[in-house]
Structure 1
Amino acid sequence: MIIKFIFFLGTLYASPVQTGKEAAVRLFGFSLWYLSAHLISKLGNIAIEEAYLGTAEQALSTKTPPWQLLIGIILSEIMLSLAWIILFLVCAAAMIGFSDIWKGTLALIGNIAVFCGISLLGMIGIGVFILGLSFRLKQVGAVTEVLLYYLLMFSGFFLSPKLLPSVFHILNSLSPLSWAVQGMRAGWQALVPASLVSCFWILVGASILRWQWNWARKTGRLGSYV
């Protein structure tokens, strides 16, 4: 993840943004991606990691319900990622200019807060979906890396949406991150589709996790890493 921080800062230096609003969209878009990527990676690997360490059964034998453990993992990963995001924003602001970013952020503060919040819920849904798959498909981590790279490159904050082929626009219609970027750029007309996409992933993620959790319990695969 640190490499991607440096990589993105390099692109900002090589291709300077023209306005404060565009700078805010790109910076908060990347920050949201980083937060989501860190969370999704953790959720996609946590079941395998705990099984490999032999602590899965021990963790699940406590009186704490599994859903509370899941919420605790999500919140802890968010808090951990926020420290790196703040550092990234400070470094980026030093490169671009604090005044430009400040003006752009103030102009879009409502859009940033609402769309990033909605998108984060949708990305959590994707993470829960991948967590569910990891009970049955132990190599899901490789697919996760491809997904995160796609979201980094083609969600609209790294490369301009105008440069993307139409097939990517079709794929991005199911991406909470892409809708967040569109909402920050285009405004409130993206609110309804952004909300629907995030709700879709929350429902799909919860359903797949419940289904695969029950399957893993019945087959004794909860503590297996193979």
Structure 2
Amino acid sequence: MQTGKEAAVRLFGFSLWYLSAHLISKLGNIAIEEAYLGTAEQALSTKTPPWQLLIGIILSEIMLSLAWIILFLVCAAAMIGFSDIWKGTLALIGNIAVFCGISLLGMIGIGVFILGLSFRLKQVGAVTEVLLYYLLMFSGFFLSPKLLPSVFHILNSLSPLSWAVQGMRAGWQALVPASLVSCFWILVGASILRWQWNWARKTGRLGSYV
């Protein structure tokens, strides 16, 4: 059983994955869910701008997930030892706060990217399960990075979650690449969402589930 700093890295790495998984799953499936329920057109016909609806969804998912994350951390600390977890967390508190925050923005970007694709490819939400499994297993908190083949390190160079774990372990030298990767996904996600949103509006596919 890991203790101290390494335990803190693994616990907060998993917590960040859990939070990101909820966000990405919600964003990847919300278009088809609203279409099946027949509420898509109703929601979009309100005076609330679509970007405000998107922010509301993201914030609500974060708040819901945080309650479970806090419970998980308390249970994990009780099993490992509050003293060990507390010392490890205090030693890395700056890294944890900064890199988890940066990574979360990048993961939101990935979720927005998948949301954009879902306007054209309605079943893309199902593919997110494969992505989330990959992020769980190979981001560096579940399996040691030393055990991963080179191809996974190449793929992880574009993973905000992987950079968060590296940042918590390696320190501030990972700040620039972590920030660049998150900015990349935010820009890509926003661009794809805008493009596919305009396409769906022009073709009348916003409320369609096919």
The answer for unaligned runs of 5 or more in structure 1 is 1-16
Please give the alpha-carbon distance, in whole angstroms, between the structure 2 residues aligned to 1:18 and 1:116: 20
Alpha-carbon deviation of 1:94?
1.2
- CA-to-aligned-CA distance 1:125-166 (integer Å, 9 cap, x gap): 000000000000111022100000000000000000000000
Please give the alpha-carbon distance, in whole angstroms, between the structure 1 residues aligned to 2:112 and 2:3: 36
Instruction: Figure out how many residues of one structure are paired with residues of the other and give that number.
Output: 210
Equivalent of 1:134, from 118, 121, 130? 118
The answer for unaligned runs of 5 or more in structure 2 is none
Q: Which stretches of structure 1, 4 residues or more, deviate above 4 A after TM superposition?
A: none
- CA-to-aligned-CA distance 1:80-127 (integer Å, 9 cap, x gap): 000000111011111111100000000000000000000000000000
Q: SS in structure 1 opposite 2:48?
A: coil
Q: RMSD of the alignment, in Å?
A: 0.6
Q: Point out the more displaced range, 69-78 or 86-95.
A: 86-95
Alpha-carbon deviation of 1:18?
3.7
Q: Point out the more displaced range, 190-199 or 88-97.
A: 88-97
- Correspondence for 2:64: 80
Alpha-carbon deviation of 1:198?
0.1
Please give the alpha-carbon distance, in whole angstroms, between the structure 1 residues aligned to 2:175 and 2:22: 25
Q: SS in structure 2 opposite 1:223?
A: coil
TM-score by length of 2: 0.99
Tell me, yes or no, if the aligned pair for 2:23 and 2:58 is still in contact at 8 Å. yes
Identity of aligned pairs, percent? 100
Please give the alpha-carbon distance, in whole angstroms, between the structure 1 residues aligned to 2:201 and 2:2: 54
Tell me, yes or no, if the aligned pair for 2:3 and 2:80 is still in contact at 8 Å. no
- CA-to-aligned-CA distance 1:203-226 (integer Å, 9 cap, x gap): 000000000000000000000011
Alpha-carbon deviation of 1:79?
0.1
- CA-to-aligned-CA distance 1:26-63 (integer Å, 9 cap, x gap): 00000000000000000001111001000000000000
Please give the alpha-carbon distance, in whole angstroms, between the structure 1 residues aligned to 2:70 and 2:81: 15
- Correspondence for 1:122: 106
Please give the alpha-carbon distance, in whole angstroms, between the structure 2 residues aligned to 1:151 and 1:207: 23
Please give the alpha-carbon distance, in whole angstroms, between the structure 2 residues aligned to 1:47 and 1:18: 41
Please give the alpha-carbon distance, in whole angstroms, between the structure 2 residues aligned to 1:74 and 1:174: 22
Please give the alpha-carbon distance, in whole angstroms, between the structure 1 residues aligned to 2:41 and 2:3: 53
